[in-house]
Amino acid sequence: TQLLEQSPQFLSIQEGENLTVYCNSSSVFSSLQWYRQEPGEGPVLLVTVVTGGEVKKLKRLTFQFGDARKDSSLHITAAQPGDTGLYLCAGGTDSWGKLQFGAGTQVVVTP
């Protein structure tokens, strides 16, 4: 059983479209991070959010942390083929002790 549930598991879209991926848990997070992993490489940290309701923007990527700090979303505007990858959320709680990762959302953006 995953402590963090990510949805959808797989997303295939055309270049220029928008997409949103979600990360949910029944636990309250101390902080939440988003990573992107490309084939043959390790995950790369995109952003960390720590405050409920926080919104962070990274060029065409918008990250939102839920008010209750139990969920997060990643929205990509006008997706490009370079956005293709496995998007992982990772969260920590006092009871978990360490960062736990979700199973990830595989995003494929075709030209």
Binding footprint of other proteins on the chain (CB under 8 A): 2, 29-31, 33, 40-45, 48, 50, 88, 90-94, 96-104
| Least distance between other proteins and beta carbon 79 (Å) | 23
Residue closer to other proteins, measured from CB, 20 or 106: 106
Task: Label residue 34 left, alpha or beta by phi (over 0 means left) and psi (-120 to 50 means alpha).
Answer: beta
Q: How far is residue 106's CA from residue 111's CA, in Å, rounded to a whole number?
A: 17
Residue closer to other proteins, measured from CB, 79 or 86: 86
Task: Label residue 80 left, alpha or beta by phi (over 0 means left) and psi (-120 to 50 means alpha).
Answer: beta
| Least distance between other proteins and beta carbon 77 (Å) | 25
Residue closer to other proteins, measured from CB, 84 or 92: 92
**Closest C-alpha to 86, from 47, 16, 39:** 39
